Chains A and B, each alone.
Chain A
Amino acid sequence: MNTILIVAEHHAGQLNPATARCVSCARKIGGEITVAVLADAPAAIAAQAATLDGVGRVVAVADTAHTQALAAMYAPQIAVLARGFTHVLAPSTTFGKDLLPRVAALLGVAQVSDLMQVEGPRRFVRPIYAGNALVTVEVPQEQTVVATVRTASWPEAAAGAQAAPVETRSVDAALPKHTRFVTLQSAKSERPDLQSAGRVVSGGRALGSSENFRIIYQLADKLGAAVGASRAAVDAGYVPSDMQVGQTGKIIAPALYVAVGISGAIQHLTGIKDAGTIVAINKDAEAPIFEVADYGLVGDLFKLVPELTQALG
């Protein structure tokens, strides 16, 4: 029988939807699912996790050391909590990517990154080479399976009426003093979150400036969409780094993705492979983005984007 521990990701007292995606992956693996919530005040977050379909139990660990989610603090505690579990999962977000390899090393086991398909309880498919190849890997029988879950590959588990029991625990693990949180600089935005949004509009180098990005925001607001960007647009300083979509940015799976003035480099395409419908607006009819776009529109974005925003009424 598999026993699966999912490390909850949360922010400002809210469970991150990436956790519900891990639950879907865990259900595919099959077995008893426990969610671990480490926080200074875990109760409300634990209650949210308890309602997710498939979750059998929630373990809440309250500790002021967890006011910020620092891998150096979380890892020794997760390593203790992991005892008795066959699997430990976390989302492949910057939170999970930072944390889980540290846990795996403490447990002395390998880690599977970006789990996208389950072929068996220890057999998984993951992308390599910017998603240009998929590899099937198997975790040796005697090892705990430690894996980050590629969130774009999994739907969010629904929240049901039935709540799983929440158990409050303290964990006996030495916490280091060598790592201290200083600040988090976060652009406050009323727009949907890029990683979970159903619609995303992204702009590329062609926008030319942060002022010009205004037309992207206007289209996004009309669509109720989140806003993303190519690396080139981030490097040029038009938008903050947390908006980068791609191999080394965010991997997303919206129902609708609109790429504006983005050429379609493989590193960018990796981030949108799982989008439902891709729309591309580009003045170059030969741009590689049109190879993957469901709908392509050739022309000047500075004319077409405002026109599209207008047409959406």
Chain B
Amino acid sequence: MKILVGYKRVVDYNVRIQVKPDGSGVVSDGVKLSPNPFDEIALEEALRLREKGVASEVVVVGIGPTDLQAHLRNGLAMGANRAIHVATSDAVQPLTAARVLLKLVQKEQPGLVILGKQAIDDDCNQTGQMLAALWDRPQATFASKVEIGEDKARVTREVDAGLETLEVDLPAVITTDLRLNEPRFIKLPDIMKAKSKPIEILELASLGVEPGDHLKTLHYAPPPGRSKGVMVKDVAELVAALKSKGLV
């Protein structure tokens, strides 16, 4: 079985993002970029399935600008067999990402597609569900445990009410939650090995994906700040303050 993994590059989670003064976007020059943490979890899960002999090949996919290849090399160094770079200089919204992934699914015929539940830049939490709909296949989102059986998967999902377990027929789309696994660190020899692994480059325009259907972005703004409050010296002062506000 082949596994396709979404591997998006995002602004590192430690960066405190700033909105440009003119509201045209966020400051991205010189900002540290990293793989989306949920995609590292997706890749780790795929690699573990390969190590268990469940999967035979793991392919990472990145959709984005020409300089994405160094990023994809990280995925190869972590252990993916090969990478596909769908090149575009346009912003890619989830429906477009899902349509691109559908084209790759039709070409590659994977038994499983693992994506992150959300990318931590736009926090959309859409792409996996959209791909599953377009592909007319099952989705198991927010996964914290995945067991693959004969032609099916049993997936435990982190939902508001607790932990839900679904059984889905394969092929299927799984999106990862934080507690699915702890991704491995990349070791130096792996970086060397990754240099000879193949990255296939496809122009987005050549895939026949309908463009458009996009949300128009009008402007960006910083969130309203919370003003700094007061420090209280002890429990008695805290209780008095809360009482005066009618909170206790």
Residues on A lying within 8 angstroms of B by beta carbon are 11, 70-72, 75, 93-95, 97-106, 108-114, 123, 125, 127-140, 143, 176-187, 195, 199, 223, 231, 234-235, 240-242, 247-248, 250, 255-256, 266-267, 273, 276-279, 285, 290-298, 304, 307-308, 311-312
Known: A180-B167, A295-B238. A242 touches B162 (CB 8 A): yes
Q: Is the CB of B141 within 8 A of A98?
A: yes
- In the complex, what distance in Å separates the CA atom of A15 from the CA atom of B78? 45
- In the complex, what distance in Å separates the CA atom of A139 from the CA atom of B212? 11
Contact bitstring B210-238, A, C-beta under 8 A = 1, else 0: 00011111111111001011111011101
Contact bitstring B75-94, A, C-beta under 8 A = 1, else 0: 00000000000000000011
Closest to B38 in A: A248
Partner of A105, one of B130, B214, B239: B130
Q: Which interface class (under 10, 10 to 19, 20 to 34, 35 or more) fits B? A: 35 or more
- Would you give the shortest CB distance from B84 to chain A, in whole angstroms? 21
Please, which residues of chain A bring their CB within 8 A of the CB of B158? 94, 241-242
Q: List 16 A-B contacts (CB under 8 A).
A: A75-B133, A93-B160, A94-B160, A101-B127, A113-B124, A132-B222, A136-B221, A137-B217, A138-B216, A182-B167, A199-B247, A235-B179, A241-B163, A277-B245, A294-B230, A311-B236
- In the complex, what distance in Å separates the CA atom of A108 from the CA atom of B242? 50
Q: Is the CB of B215 within 8 A of A112?
A: yes
- Would you give the shortest CB distance from A150 to chain B, in whole angstroms? 11
5 tightest A-B CB contacts, nearest first: A294-B229, A105-B133, A101-B129, A186-B162, A101-B126
Extra pairs beyond A133-B220, A242-B160 (20, CB < 8 Å): A70-B166, A75-B133, A94-B158, A99-B129, A101-B130, A105-B95, A105-B133, A108-B95, A110-B214, A112-B215, A132-B16, A138-B215, A140-B213, A176-B136, A179-B167, A184-B163, A240-B163, A273-B223, A298-B231, A311-B239
Q: Is the CB of A178 within 8 A of B169?
A: yes
Which B186-217 residues have a C-beta within 8 angstroms of A? 213-217
Question: Does B51 touch A at the CB level, under 8 Å?
Answer: no
Q: Is the CB of A183 within 8 A of B165?
A: yes
Q: Is the CB of B13 within 8 A of A312?
A: no
Q: Is the CB of A241 within 8 A of B221?
A: no
Please, which residues of chain A bring their CB within 8 A of the CB of B179? 234-235, 241
Please, which residues of chain B bring their CB within 8 A of the CB of A71? 129, 139, 141
- Would you give the shortest CB distance from B165 to chain A, in whole angstroms? 4
In terms of DSSP, what is the predominant structure of the interface of chain B?
A: mixed
Please, which residues of chain A bring their CB within 8 A of the CB of B134? 105
- In the complex, what distance in Å separates the CA atom of A297 from the CA atom of B231? 6
- Would you give the shortest CB distance from B56 to chain A, in whole angstroms? 23
Closest to A187 in B: B162
- In the complex, what distance in Å separates the CA atom of A279 from the CA atom of B235? 11
- In the complex, what distance in Å separates the CA atom of A103 from the CA atom of B139? 13
Q: Is the CB of A133 within 8 A of B223?
A: yes
In terms of DSSP, what is the predominant structure of the interface of chain A?
A: mixed
- In the complex, what distance in Å separates the CA atom of A292 from the CA atom of B214? 35
- Would you give the shortest CB distance from A192 to chain B, in whole angstroms? 14
Please, which residues of chain A bring their CB within 8 A of the CB of B234? 297
- In the complex, what distance in Å separates the CA atom of A300 from the CA atom of B166? 43
Known: A133-B221, A138-B218. A292 touches B17 (CB 8 A): no
Q: Which of B42-50, B58-66, B114-122 contacts A (4 or more CB under 8 A)?
A: B114-122
Closest to B171 in A: A178
Please, which residues of chain A bring their CB within 8 A of the CB of B94? 101, 110-111
- In the complex, what distance in Å separates the CA atom of A250 from the CA atom of B177? 13
- In the complex, what distance in Å separates the CA atom of A275 from the CA atom of B120? 22
Q: Is the CB of B130 within 8 A of A104?
A: yes
- Would you give the shortest CB distance from B93 to chain A, in whole angstroms? 6
Q: Is the CB of A140 within 8 A of B214?
A: yes
Contact bitstring B98-124, A, C-beta under 8 A = 1, else 0: 100000000000000000011011111
- In the complex, what distance in Å separates the CA atom of A186 from the CA atom of B156? 12
Please, which residues of chain B bring their CB within 8 A of the CB of A70? 166
Most interface-central of B117, B124, B222 (chain A CB within 10 A): B124
Question: Does B183 touch A at the CB level, under 8 Å?
Answer: no
Please, which residues of chain A bring their CB within 8 A of the CB of B164? 181, 183-185
Please, which residues of chain B bring their CB within 8 A of the CB of A75? 133
Closest to A174 in B: B136
